[in-house]
Amino acid sequence: MTGSVEVVYRGIFQKHLGQRITRGIVLAAVKEGKVGISFGRYGDSPERNGIPAKSFAVVADNEEELQAYLSRYEPSNNDVTVAVDDTLCKGVESWAWYGLQPINKLTRPGGTVLATSMQSPEELLKDCHRKDAEWSLAVIKAIPSFSGLWVYKDDHTDVRVLGAIARLAPHVVKLESVEAAIRDEWGDELKVASVRKAYERVEIRKVRPDEGNPEKPYEFQLPKWWEMKEGLVIPGIPVKQEVEGWEGGYRPGRNPTFKKFSTRTMRPVVDFEICTKCTLCWLQCPDSCFDVTPTGHYDANMEACCGCGVCEAVCPVENCITMVNEAAFADNASQFETYEKDKDAYKTWLKGKIEDKVVTYRSHGFRYRGQYEEELAQMAAGGQLHSGVQSINEEPGAGPG
Amino acid sequence: MTVATKPAAAADKEMLISGCAAIAQALRLADIDVVTAYPIRPYDTVMQAVAKLIANGELDAEYIVASSEHDQFEIVKHASAVGARVFCGSSGVGWMYAMEAIAVTPALRLPMVALVGNRALDDPGAFGCEHNDALCVRDLGWMLTWVDTAQEALDTALIAYRVAEDPRIFLPCAIGADGAFLTHSETIVKVPSKEKVDQFLPKYDRGDKLLHPDNPITIAPQVNEDWVMEIRKQNDEAMRRARGVIQEAFRDFHKIFGRQGGNPFVESYMADDAEVILFGQGTLSMPVKVGVRKLREQGHKVGFVRLRWLRPFPTPEVQEALGRAKAVGVVDRDYSFGSPNYGAVLYNEVRSALYDLPKRPHVISFICGLGGREVTLDSVVEMSEILLKVAKTGKVEQPNYWIGVRG
Ligand code: SF4
Ligand code: SF4
């Protein structure tokens, strides 16, 4: 019997995490006398900030069974799909394909999407696209773990995910074999304890085909060879495109086939009332995201934003642009249009987004000496991590929770 | 009152020039825009001839002396992308040094025309002719033609531009010219008038593939496995179309210049009724034709077929020209160590082309004239006798012979 798991992760920030999980699955399966393979999706670009990428593990009873999964880029019927960043539940658009792939697209009917998230399965389900079959959504409560290209944040996310997989798909790996593999690989009993806690505490919710985000994901048809321009020629994108009813404003031309809905983990929100129209955000944005509105404001268009945070950094007006966790948003609507419709409602919305501490916290490495030890203690006590990026004004150690 | 009449096209001018100088004349007539140079023998004679034309005010072109062969090909590659008619060339290991730029040119669909003055690949350092240098692009999407006289060199260079720059094709074309025998020997060549050439060769128009600020495009992106096969298929189709476009170009050439009326792909010499046929390309046609005549006088039905275009390979023409013979000897001025039957490149191509015939001749491989060694009359007789024996007995005792090697 074969089993496979895909781990969807964010380029650079979670590259090591993705690989550690899929390696862990194979190492655990070997303890059961099985064979396996762990590999990254080759066409991905795991060295690009935040670009969704994938790592896979396939285990089988013998080499012949495994062959059906070898020399392939991605298994298409996974027992478990892991989203190590919950914002990936909105869909995946990596460098390896075109169009938005729903997070559960390669999950087999009856399989499970497992996310690390501070949201409940109920809340997270709003982001996940519908599927033509029953499936489950499972959550390990945790702030998604982000680190860097050269460093790995050993906050137990990897082993917790392995523990949850043992619960969700015991035919892939059993709890005991995960524990044995972890003892062999790391010799760390605290990690073994984390595995067990995640095994017990993973929240699982069955999902019917009529539940979830009803939106039809953005699709892109690959052209036939005779439809492609010869000579590797790609026509340029027009500088401007007019927007109806936007006299005086315009939208920069953009790549029609590559949206960036899923590349970002954060997005800017703009307080149009205090904006001085200085143009800096519009000039400095590396992705030409800002539509120029008829009023001379700059509206970050979510079809193009990769979430880099440059606009927040260059805006000279305090609190005018704020980067907010992507998990806090349900759609890609224009902020300026919402603002124009009802200015007061917009202000309330904006305030709510900025102050939403549950989702705004992200775990981008360690910020002060002693944080790791502190987190380990939390983990040992509750099996759940509470710290994240410290805001500039916060005391060390004062995370949410 | 005078009546305006179309001036009669000026007559061809006869000049005593080398194969390389003949190509330089074609470049003048084609009014090329950019030429790059880096010296290596025997190609460098064309570079000298072009420099002289520019210095004499006969040709107005950008002449760029590059810092290496790699730069040489990179520069013309980019010039071609911005709409310049370009010329480039090299020999032996110089051509190999430029291989990275040479290899990417077909996928970019840049109609570069290049001369490969065929030279043995080092080591040992040697000037003499071998075809392995040009053959390295056999599989890459370059059109590849071999010429055997200075006249054919001039004519083929004009035809090469016409075919390469045809928007249905846009593929680079390399002209193989045997080092010394063709590149450095002077014969009388008919050089046509500019007016005639203008009738034959339209301006290079890259259309919407032109790299220009007024036509914003990106070329040569990085892609993944979802795209490469389609791009290769496009090249395959362009190469398939090249066959028809070459035929068209020869037809028009013949109409305008009165030359090149024969089969564009193969030259058959006393081969129609031949029992045995020698097959090869380039200047070995000279001693082989002499040998064929001599053997015919002695009553042997020997013939010769010369391949003119290796890419696109003229499968039907080769089948037609060789199919009726009892034995065919493919004379390779190249090697392909360890290949089937230890034969060489042309041998395996020809054998493959004949495979689908219901009744096919025996095919023997002759490796001959390496490193510029002369293919002598004695060698031709020796090869013919081997073939005649195969024809008579119907048995192939040995599939491959090295002809003219001491030992
Ligand atoms: S975060 Fe700001 S600067 Fe960065 S891509 Fe988005 S809009 Fe542009
Ligand atoms: S940088 Fe800030 S103040 Fe300047 S235009 Fe952008 S949002 Fe307005």
What is the CA B171 to chain-centroid distance, rounded?
Answer: 14
Q: Which of B216, B237, B257 marks a domain boundary?
A: B257
In a mutational test of the pocket of ligand 1, which residue from A298, A305, A314, A321 has the highest number of ligand atoms less than 8 Å from its CB?
Answer: A305
What sign for the dihedral angle of Cα B193, B195, B201, B203?
positive
pLDDT in tens, B330-369: 999 999 999 999 999 999 999 999 999 999 999 999 999 9
- For residue B233, list chain A residues with Cβ-Cβ distance below 8 A: 225
Residues A183 and A272 in one domain: no
CATH number of the domain that B306 lies in? 3.40.50.920
Chain A residue with CA closest to B209: the answer is A233
Residues A234 and A298 in one domain: yes
Residue identifier of the C-alpha nearest atom 5 of ligand 2? A277
CA of B142 to the centre of ligand 1 (A): 45
Q: First-to-last CA distance in chain A?
A: 42
Dihedral, CA of residue A329, residue A335, residue A340 and residue A345, to nearest 10: 30
Residue identifier of the C-alpha nearest atom 3 of ligand 2? A275
Task: Give the residue from B198, B187, B164 showing the smallest Cα distance to B86.
Answer: B164
Instruction: Give B340's contacts (C-beta < 8 A, 6+ positions apart).
Output: B348, B351
Which residues sit opposite B301 in a β-bridge? none
Residues B214 and B300 in one domain: no
Q: Which of B193, B228, B257 marks a domain boundary?
A: B257
CA of A340 to the centre of ligand 1 (A): 21
* Window from A384-388, B69-73, B78-82, B398-402 with minimum mean pLDDT: A384-388
Q: Which of B239, B257, B275 marks a domain boundary?
A: B257
Residues A188 and A42 in one domain: yes
Residue B2 forms part of a structural domain: no
Structural domain harbouring B94 = 13-257
For residue A218, the distance in angstroms to the closest alpha carbon of chain B comes to 18
**Three-class SS of residue B256?**
helix
pLDDT in tens, B217-235: 999 988 888 899 999 999 9
Residues B322 and B252 in one domain: no
Residue A377 forms part of a structural domain: no
d(CA A47, CA A9): 12
Residues A155 and A302 in one domain: no
> Does residue A306's CB lie within 6 angstroms of at least one atom of ligand 1?
yes
Residues A187 and A87 in one domain: yes
Residues A199 and A248 in one domain: no
- The answer to whether B87 and B62 have CB atoms below 8 angstroms apart is no
Percentage of residues of chain B with pLDDT beyond 70: 98
Chain A residue with CA closest to B214: the answer is A236
CA of A254 to the centre of ligand 1 (A): 14
Residues A34 and A120 in one domain: yes
The minimal CB distance from A231 to the residues B170, B224, B225 is found for B170
Residue identifier of the C-alpha nearest atom 7 of ligand 2? A275
Task: Give the residue from B308, B302, B295, B396 showing the smallest Cα distance to B351.
Answer: B396
pLDDT given at position A50: 83
- For residue A223, list chain B residues with Cβ-Cβ distance below 8 A: 230
- The answer to whether B249 and B122 have CB atoms below 8 angstroms apart is no
Q: First-to-last CA distance in chain B?
A: 80
Q: Test B219 with A234 for CB contact under 8 angstroms.
A: yes
Ligand closest to the CA atom of residue A287 = 1
Chain A residues within 8 Å of chain B (Cβ atoms): 42-43, 73, 95-98, 222-226, 228-237
CA of A278 to the centre of ligand 2 (A): 5
Residues A340 and A311 in one domain: yes
pLDDT given at position A392: 34
The minimal CB distance from A232 to the residues B108, B224, B237 is found for B108
**Would you mind telling me the total number of residues written for chain A in this entry?**
401
Query: CA dist B375 to B102, B367, B382, Å?
Result: 30, 10, 11
> Does residue A300's CB lie within 6 angstroms of at least one atom of ligand 1?
yes
Per-residue DSSP letters for B201-235?
A: -PPP--GGG--BTTB-EEES----TTTHHHHHHHH
CA of A86 to the centre of ligand 2 (A): 30
Q: Which of A220, A225, A234, A255 to mutate to test the interface with B (most CBs of B within 10 A)?
A: A225
**Would you mind telling me the total number of residues written for chain B in this entry?**
407
CA of B222 to the centre of ligand 1 (A): 24
Quick one: tokens of A297?
Answer: 């404001």
For residue B140, the distance in angstroms to the closest alpha carbon of chain A comes to 14
Mean pLDDT by 10 residues, chain A (401 residues): 94 91 97 96 80 94 93 92 95 79 96 94 96 97 83 88 98 97 92 94 97 89 93 90 83 82 88 96 93 94 89 93 89 93 95 74 63 72 51 40 35
Task: Give the residue from B29, B268, B37 showing the smallest Cα distance to B154.
Answer: B29
- Domain count for chain B, please give it: 2
Per-residue DSSP letters for A180-240?
A: HHHHHHH--HHHHHHHHHHHHH-EEEEE-TT-SB-PPPPB-PPPPTTTSPSTTEEEPPPSE
- The answer to whether A200 and A193 have CB atoms below 8 angstroms apart is no
CA of A302 to the centre of ligand 1 (A): 9
d(CA A88, CA A327): 9
pLDDT given at position A358: 55
d(CA B256, CA B258): 6
Query: CA dist B253 to B24, B126, B185, Å?
Result: 19, 37, 25
Q: Test B107 with A232 for CB contact under 8 angstroms.
A: yes
- Domain count for chain A, please give it: 2
Query: CA dist B117 to A243, A334, B73, B88, B202, Å?
Result: 59, 63, 15, 11, 27
Structural domain harbouring A194 = 3-207
Burial A161-190 (b: 16+ CB within 10 A, else e): bbbbbbbbbeebbbbebbbbbbeeeeeeee
Neighbours of A328 (CB within 10 A): 18
The ligand 1 atom nearest the CA atom of A284: 3
Phi first, then psi: give them for residue B87, nearest 5 degrees.
-140, 145
pLDDT given at position B338: 97
Residues A230 and A151 in one domain: no
What sign for the dihedral angle of Cα B43, B49, B52, B56?
negative
Residues B388 and B251 in one domain: no
> Does residue A50's CB lie within 6 angstroms of at least one atom of ligand 1?
no
Which residues sit opposite A109 in a β-bridge? none
Residues B19 and B52 in one domain: yes
pLDDT in tens, B371-389: 999 999 999 999 999 999 9
Q: Does the N-terminal peptide bond of residue B124 adopt cis geometry, omega within 30 degrees of 0?
A: yes
Residues A232 and A197 in one domain: no
Ligand closest to the CA atom of residue A252 = 1
Residue B321 forms part of a structural domain: yes
Q: Which residue has the tokens 């045995």?
A: B276
pLDDT given at position B223: 87
CATH number of the domain that A43 lies in? 3.40.920.10
Residue A397 forms part of a structural domain: no
For residue A238, the distance in angstroms to the closest alpha carbon of chain B comes to 9
Residue B88 forms part of a structural domain: yes
DSSP state, A389?
P
CATH number of the domain that A296 lies in? 3.30.70.20
Residue B1 forms part of a structural domain: no
Q: How many helices (H) and strands (E) does chain A have?
A: 12, 16
pLDDT given at position A365: 59
Q: Which of B215, B234, B239 to mutate to test the interface with A (most CBs of A within 10 A)?
A: B234
Residue A367 forms part of a structural domain: no
pLDDT given at position B5: 55
Chain B residue with CA closest to A43: the answer is B224
Neighbours of A111 (CB within 10 A): 24
- The answer to whether A29 and A169 have CB atoms below 8 angstroms apart is no
Q: Does the N-terminal peptide bond of residue B202 adopt cis geometry, omega within 30 degrees of 0?
A: no
Residues B103 and B246 in one domain: yes
What sign for the dihedral angle of Cα A260, A262, A263, A268?
positive
Residues A31 and A88 in one domain: yes
Residues B61 and B146 in one domain: yes
Residue A183 forms part of a structural domain: yes
Residues B304 and B229 in one domain: no
Which residues sit opposite B175 in a β-bridge? B115, B145
Q: What is the mean pLDDT of residues B110-128?
A: 96
For residue A369, the distance in angstroms to the closest alpha carbon of chain B comes to 42
Going by their DSSP bridges, the two strands B86-90 and B113-118 should be labelled as parallel
Residue identifier of the C-alpha nearest atom 4 of ligand 1? A308
In a mutational test of the pocket of ligand 1, which residue from A281, A289, A336 has the highest number of ligand atoms less than 8 Å from its CB?
Answer: A289
pLDDT given at position B169: 98
Which residues sit opposite B327 in a β-bridge? B276, B362
pLDDT given at position B194: 96
CATH number of the domain that B66 lies in? 3.40.50.970
Residue B205 forms part of a structural domain: yes
Residues with CB under 6 A from ligand 2: A 270, 275-281, 298, 314-315, 317, 320-321
Per-residue DSSP letters for A280-349?
A: HHHHH-TT--EEEPTTS-EEE-TTT-----HHHHH--STTTEEEEEGGG-S----HHHHHHH-HHHHHHH
pLDDT given at position B2: 52
pLDDT given at position A130: 97
Residues A80 and A196 in one domain: yes
- For residue A231, list chain B residues with Cβ-Cβ distance below 8 A: 107-110, 170, 209, 219
Per-residue DSSP letters for B318-331?
A: HHHHHTT-SEEEEE
Q: Which of A345, A360, A375 marks a domain boundary?
A: A360
Instruction: Give B387's contacts (C-beta < 8 A, 6+ positions apart).
Output: B276, B277, B278, B302, B327, B328, B329, B364
pLDDT given at position A260: 77
Enter the ipTM: 0.89
Going by their DSSP bridges, the two strands A251-252 and A240-241 should be labelled as antiparallel
d(CA B191, CA B46): 16
- The answer to whether B114 and B85 have CB atoms below 8 angstroms apart is no
CA of A289 to the centre of ligand 1 (A): 6
Residues B271 and B252 in one domain: no
In chain B, % helix, strand, coil (3-state, to 5) comes to 40, 20, 40
pLDDT given at position A307: 87
Please determine, for residue B162, whether its predicted confidence score (pLDDT) is greater than 60: yes
- The answer to whether A29 and A166 have CB atoms below 8 angstroms apart is no
Q: Does the N-terminal peptide bond of residue B340 adopt cis geometry, omega within 30 degrees of 0?
A: no
For residue B31, the distance in angstroms to the closest alpha carbon of chain A comes to 24
Q: Test A228 with B231 for CB contact under 8 angstroms.
A: yes
Residue B8 forms part of a structural domain: no
In this structure, which amino acid lies at residue B245? V
DSSP state, A257?
T
Q: Which of B225, B230, B237 to mutate to test the interface with A (most CBs of A within 10 A)?
A: B230
Count residue pairs from A and B with Cβ separation < 8 A: 62
What long-range pairs does A394-399 form, CB within 8 A, spacing at least 24? A396/A367, A396/A368, A396/A370, A396/A371, A397/A368, A397/A371, A399/A361
pLDDT given at position A399: 42
